[in-house]
Structure 1
Amino acid sequence: MVARVSMIEIRHVPESDFEQIFELSDIVFHGRTDDAERGARRWRFLLAHRIGAYDGDRLVGFMACLPLGMTVPGGTLGCSGVTFVAVLPTHRRRGVLTAMLDRLWSDLAERGEPLAALYVSEAAIYGRFGFGAATRAISMEVATDRPLGLRVEPDPGPLRLIAPAEAAEVVGPLYGRAATRRAGQFLRDGRWWAKSVLPEADEEDDDLTAPRVVVLGEEPRGYAVYRAKQGDDSIGVPGVVQLVELEADTAEAEAALWRYLASVDLTGRIRCWARPVDDLLPLLAADPDQVIVTRTWPALWLRLVDLEAALTRRGWAREVEVVLEIRDEHIPANHGRWSLRAGPGGASCTRTDSAPDLTLAVRDLASAYLGDVPVRRLVAAGLAVEHTPGAAGRLDAALATPAAPFAADQF
């Protein structure tokens, strides 16, 4: 399928145009893509559905859309991971991004994928296309120049380091269990483990070591992926443990892994770029001053592409019956009034002419969808209208999840 915007043509980007993608990236993101970065990105492009905007033969806009599976409350849904979005500065404000996204909505409808997700570089852009911030993350630093005291007894099981190549087989099942407990996580195969989670070199910091994988228990009850960086005693800079991810079945297992990370020789600090907002460590630490949350930030942005499928194929904590009036300027099939009847036994979502109980934009429903932003908060902020008193609270109770949503994978 080929679409046109004035003289711009929207079409699939073939592998023969990958060099044009890198040239476009270097111009838009003010960088220089070296051979190592080309290799690191090429596998994603080969996996992705690739949408390009062409002015003649020149690629002037691009987005890569990865076919992913995302955990939602009660199950897993198909989700397009949108990444590497770029438009040449000479072609901005000409509807290029809108046209590429319109192509994406159409393609996802054909493939039956109800969700799309991305990490934003400019948050102001994507909200107007119906994306809402659906997960939050915290960044933490842990001072380890003294022992890390913990308020629970760590799991006494044995710890072992495994080769990164073994991770998918050894800890993949544990990650899968953890992902089902927390909405927003992405399913992984062996290639994703090797290329995305455990690449030999860190894309952001050349001084970090190769990844280390530490596992608790012969039958894994927890694991951590981390890298390390040398310090410089002459100027008082401690060595650093950079945590990539940590998953555990119990608080005791989690405590054992944190104790291990805090005891890595020749280091004095653990840095965690992204952890769930309900991470246990701030509660587990005997001295709260050792664990500093340095930032809380909106992480994964979500788009409900097929509203009916998204609402009927997630789980619901409680019974709710509500009429939603959804504003969606970009996907007409979502726009309008919907009668939602949902509960632990299942859900239906059908068109209706009944008066609405709640009115809200699709971007705000996306923010509430995984259980992060309460609908009552949207009402308080004036971003949603509660026509029927108590409707927002009933919907919140039905949307509730036991753990805060979180996405560990970047793309």
Structure 2
Amino acid sequence: MGSRFGPEHAKALTRALKCILATLRVACVAFVICLPLTVLSTTLDAAEEAEQSLEKARKAIAARSFDQAELQLERVLMLVPEHAEARVILASLMAQLGRLETALLLLQSLIDDPRTEDDYRQRLRGIYALIAQAPRLASSTQMPDAMASDPDKRGYWRGEIGLGHSSNPLARTAASELPLTIADSVINLPLSDRPIRGNQIQASIARLGPDQGFDLNLTSVSLSGGQIGHAAAGRVSAWGAIAGPLYWQAQAQQSLDDQRRYTFGLSLAEGRNRLTLAAFREPTRGETGQFLRYEHRVLPLAGGLWSAGIERGHHTEQTPDYLRASITGEYNLGKQRFLVVNWGYQGDLSGYNPLLENNSRRWLETRSVAFERHFVLGTQKVVVLRALANERRSNLTIFSFRDLGLQVSLLATWL
């Protein structure tokens, strides 16, 4: 019995198979061609949507709708995780909202990214240092909104003027006698200078930027309580970027007791670490010298943001060399309330004076606490109420003092 499929059926089947294979081939080619176009279209849609969200974030920041701005910026990074501009703006926004740790991590991620251009990396280091040096100044009442909405801004101005009253503005000791060691005997010398209350006027102006800046502070004290007297102090500081993490810095200052000091040095700032080597001159005391200082800033600890430093100083004339350490903590208590605590210690490496405590090595321990309450008056203007308490203890009586004070100041920032 012959087969059911003759030559004609075999040819028809062959043609059908060839047709199917050709169709599949065309479909595969079409898929290969269309897939990149589809992916590209999706990518373009994501990039376009990210830019739209970024624009919404800028408008939200301008309207001070920070929660909405944060949501839009997070959406940008969800769509385009490598969006550098969004990360910078979000970092500035986090700083404004008091979330310094998040802000610094965002900036550090860009600094460490090898794709970041060198000049832009330098600016990011400057912004990082700007936030790390003064966490309270990054709050929403003090940093201009445009610094967050436009990362290309080169800096901003900050001005402050204030009035205050202090129980001991000249930092005089409360002791009535000064013990002197003469010929193996102790003589108590009466002290006529006693702590005196005084009224203070303070003013400051600063230009703060990621690449350079300066800061001018002036203080005037008028003694009260029947005393006639006046004292003035001032300090001007300037700094600027040299290359990479290297900065120069200079400072000139005069204290309330008319002591002058001039300093110039170099700083290496990387992340939260800063190393400074500087030379100084003190013309009123006929002294010169150098110091080496290391600082670690913005360390989250015990609910606050802490900074610590250690310094080794050398004098070329008669003043003893010293070691100095300091710790500062800032607490954001919410509702524009801040608590700042500070502890410092200095130990001389040789005797201070043969007449004082038998030429003992001097040590100084300083403690201070300040409470601030900020009241927003308008865009980038705030009234600051500040209560302060300072104390310094020493094995040499003349260097010990206590001081309590109240201050009210108007602070403003602008571009």
- Where is the strand percentage greater, Structure 1 or Structure 2? 2
Q: TM-score, normalised by structure 1?
A: 0.23
TM-score by length of structure 2 reads 0.22
Q: Which has the larger radius of gyration?
A: 2
Relative contact order, CA 8 A, sep 6+: which one is greater? 1
